[in-house]
Amino acid sequence: MDKLFEVFDTDLDAIEIGAAILGTGGGGNPYIGKLRCRLQLQQGRRIKVIPIDELRDDALVVSLGGIGAPVVGVEKIEQGEECLRAVHALEDDLGCKVDALISSEIGGANSMEPMLTAAQAGIPVVDGDGMGRAFPEMQMCTWSIYGHRSTPSAMADEKGNIVIIKNTRNEVWVETLARANVVAMGAAAGIAMAPMKGSYVKKVAIRSTITQALSLGNSVLKAQRDNTDPIAAVLAHEDGRLLMTGKIIDLERHLKGGFAVGHIFIQGFGDFSGDKGQIDIQNEFLVFHRNNQVEICVPDLIVVLDVDTGLPITTEVLRYGQRIAVLALPCDDLLRTPEALKVVGPAAFGYPEVTFTPMPSSKNKEGKR
């Protein structure tokens, strides 16, 4: 257990920035979660992080996150123990204690919830997650993609309601039923799901993503302090590629079936003068087109940053006239297999005609394994 490390108050700003970048426009805003983590630390609780390889093979690990509409998550502040009650409800259902929590998605708000809940529960949070980014639906977690059932899943809201999704026909039904419940609960709830053995987590989790978010966020903060280019810092940190710098010249965005759906249109400037860019959105940024040709698509990460500050711009705060940098960052190899592409490739998002071509990456993430 001496291999555990802690997240301190001074790390939270960096994790917030890194997680928001990995959210690729979605995943919810980690800001409020950050404040709540800070409060926990001020109250004397500790956020202990366990590297994946330190997990016992028979440890019971549970995937944790908030579920709901990101915009509601900002406007309706959580009561604060939704996720903790979800963990306890799952423990009751399983008849045993959970050893560690793992984030369902590092991108966005669900970077903070597992740290927060682990601090409340007095157990460690795993340095890893199920997406390495953000995706809009739960069956898009690696544990689900690689064959694990997410049931039983326990949901809890701020009112004291608790629902257990005990068994489902398939993984998509977990998402469908959880979504129906969270809408009834008021569009925000905590969900603890997919109880797993440590040995399985070692196989399928995206590794070291808390560390990654922290270090990525710190690289942006350092560039800001040093007055160097934060975009370049992100690209260097993630082995990414600058797709375009430009101005948002048009924006279509609406809510459809609980998702933020739309397109942004970009007029390139600088090195990209004359280029026209388009990004398609379903909560996250899905597909980047240059001059009407698809160039980058899910599961690789499309990231929109403010061109001056390097801070991420999420889909809900996009607006006409913003000056942005569009980056492509390589996703983890675990999202590039045929099994994964069935669930998180372009066809799964309504682009059957688009073939995912992995963006080149000198390291991909092997270095992390």
Provide the binding-site residues for a copy of itself, judged by CB under 8 A.
Answer: 89, 92-93, 154, 159-169, 173, 176-177, 179-181, 183-185
In the complex, minimum distance from the CB of residue 249 to a copy of itself, in angstroms, rounded to a whole number: 40
In sequence order, what are the residues at sequence separation of 6 or more whose Cβ sits closer than 8 angstroms to the Cβ of residue 369?
207
Nearest-5° Cα angle at 73, 52 to 51: 5
In the complex, minimum distance from the CB of residue 138 to a copy of itself, in angstroms, rounded to a whole number: 14
Nearer of residues 35 and 183 to a copy of itself, judged by Cβ: 183
Would you tell me how many other CB atoms lie within 10 Å of the CB of residue 339?
13
Quote the DSSP letter at residue 359: P
Block residue for tokens 């372009």: 346
Cβ(308)–Cβ(276) under 8 Å? no
Nearer of residues 147 and 352 to a copy of itself, judged by Cβ: 147
In the complex, minimum distance from the CB of residue 18 to a copy of itself, in angstroms, rounded to a whole number: 35
Nearer of residues 154 and 301 to a copy of itself, judged by Cβ: 154
Nearer of residues 179 and 247 to a copy of itself, judged by Cβ: 179
For the residues of 314-353, what is the DSSP string, one character each?
-GGG--TT-EEEEEEEPPPGGGSSHHHHHHHSGGGGT-TT
In the complex, minimum distance from the CB of residue 170 to a copy of itself, in angstroms, rounded to a whole number: 9
- CA dihedral sign of residues 307, 135, 219, 122: positive
Nearer of residues 7 and 89 to a copy of itself, judged by Cβ: 89
In the complex, minimum distance from the CB of residue 185 to a copy of itself, in angstroms, rounded to a whole number: 8
